[in-house]
Structure 1
Amino acid sequence: MGRVPHDIRLIAVDMDGTLLDASGNVPETLWGLLPRLEERDVTFVPASGRQLATLRATFGDAADAMTFIAENGAYVVRAGVEVASDALEPAVVARAVQRLRHLSAEGYDLGVVVCGKRSAYIERTDEAFRSQAAIYYAALEIVDDVLAIDDDVLKIAVYDFALAEDSVGRALDEIAETHRVVVSGQHWVDIMNPGVDKGVALRRLQAALDVTPAQTVAFGDYLNDLEMLDAADWSFAMHNAHPDVVARARHRAPSNVDHGVITTIEDLLAG
């Protein structure tokens, strides 16, 4: 790994496949690590495609004082106060939802989540899809028409029962011409405004905290983490990471199953 920094100020950590273990839980050892990071004036930031409500529920009592990068960078909140957000125009939301409805009619097995600041919204109600959406969206409402909601839409998430990278991820080229279409998991694709990603969010946070990339550590495992890794001099790909992430990161960390984030942070703090 080479010489470790003596002035770490900011640690950004993806959740699924990175921080969370094989059962989708936060490693117990993190709870003892968080106060030690706070004592050293290090800001620990979960950075996820998950919504803010889900991240807050995951971190429980600690969440009120924490900083979160939610919705793949479209929503940044520090100690309950919004740092930055980037909502889609209603016309864009309508165009994307109509395209996805058309793809479903053609035979793609898709579930659509319209992700607002207050809640996430779905029309599809079968248990197979709803159970997947509920993992990432603690605030989840079933509505008759996702285009009739009254909320700021931060992104549109699409669950593809096939492998998203080879399926719906290739069927949204027209939308990708003007907006970000990113594969965020094996079965998930996110549609966001251009210029929205975890890396942009992390750079905004660095500016707000007066922290440099040299003082920043980032961990990731999948394609939606690439820009975040670029924003940190100390970038780590998990052992289980997508090959493109491994190629982009400067360092490697043990897998999420082996609690690689925790052990690597401990090594960095130990110097």
Structure 2
Amino acid sequence: MPHDIRLIAVDMDGTLLDGEGNIPDPLWSLLPRLAERGVAFVPASGRQLATLQRSFGEAAGEMTFIAENGAYVVRAGVEVSSDAIDREVVERVVRHLRDLGERGYDLGVVLCGKRSAYIERTDDAFRAEADTYYAALEAVDDILEVDDDVLKIAIYDFAVAEHSVGRALDEIAETHRVVVSGRHWVDIMNLHVDKGAALARLQEALDVVPAQTAAFGDYLNDLEMLDAADWSYAMREAHPEVVARARYRAPSNLDHGVVTTIRELFPES
């Protein structure tokens, strides 16, 4: 298939990462080859910037990242865009989540700031989940006392989020974006924040159009990103809505599907 792909946006969990949550080894030799061809490889994740940078190590310095589900975009260490939630909204959401906890929902709340992420629940079960996704993480007595720009409020639901806390946020969803980003995670952001909007801003900054963009995803928070790319791929085990929205299918992340597909697009890489 002829193409002129200049930008590749890739979700992490369930998409790029293997079954053990690691970046597949074949990607490391592929990254410099893509760079030589003038192709930007952009991780696009609900994860925080610090976590993404840690994952890519020495390569991270010159890379572009779409972090916090699109609320924070950084290119070679320089901010491209960010979208912080008003303090009044943060307080209202946190108090609502605390109320849900008192009503029996088993939730952990992460306040995702520019400098760090913050939690006030510190039991081992929740801390293990938060540590997985947040390289910069501080435990505080009261997350409402945190002085940082809040990009996202992430909720870990020990039940299945789509059928639990995801259905208890209707009032918040009237004014802000509520997205189920994983089996147990729900993210709350400003209304027009998503990976697709972030990708569109990045396309503008790089002078790239959707026809020159590929995107890979597997879950509901990837839908708008796939819409922004003509070369949109749903992973083999993707959520049914993602499969319906994407133009193409990629092999499973367990089989290094992203790397395999990129090599098919760039056979000499």
Instruction: Identify the TM-score tier after normalising by the shorter chain.
Output: over 0.9
Equivalent runs, 1:32-181 vs 2, <5 Å: 32-181=29-178
Deviations 1:111-170 (A, max 9, x none): 000000000000000010010011110000000000000100000000000000000000
TM-score between the two structures when normalised by the length of structure 2: 0.99
Deviations 1:171-201 (A, max 9, x none): 0000000000000000000000010000000
SS at 1:23's partner residue? coil
Equivalent runs, 1:169-248 vs 2, <5 Å: 169-248=166-245
Given residue 120 of structure 2, which amino acid in structure 1 is its aligned partner? E
Off by >2 Å, runs of 4+ in structure 1: none
Compute the displacement of 1:270 (Å).
Answer: 2.1
Given residue 188 of structure 2, which amino acid in structure 1 is its aligned partner? I
SS at 1:270's partner residue? coil
Structure 1 CA distance, aligned partners of 2:132 and 2:30?
Answer: 25
Unaligned runs of 5+ in 1: none
TM-score between the two structures when normalised by the length of structure 1: 0.98
Structure 2 CA distance, aligned partners of 1:160 and 1:4?
Answer: 44
Cα RMSD over matched residues?
0.7
Deviations 1:43-77 (A, max 9, x none): 00000000000000000000000000000000000
Structure 2 CA distance, aligned partners of 1:162 and 1:106?
Answer: 14
SS at 2:20's partner residue? coil
Structure 2 CA distance, aligned partners of 1:244 and 1:68?
Answer: 25
Task: State the number of aligned residues.
Answer: 268
Deviations 1:6-52 (A, max 9, x none): x1100000000000000000000000000000000000000000000
Structure 2 CA distance, aligned partners of 1:74 and 1:13?
Answer: 16
Identity of aligned residues (%): 76
Note closer, same or farther for the CA distance 1:236–1:4 as it changes in structure 2 (3 Å cut). farther
Compute the displacement of 1:4 (Å).
Answer: 4.0
Unaligned runs of 5+ in 2: none
Given residue 59 of structure 1, which amino acid in structure 2 is its aligned partner? F
SS at 2:45's partner residue? coil
Compute the displacement of 1:251 (Å).
Answer: 0.1
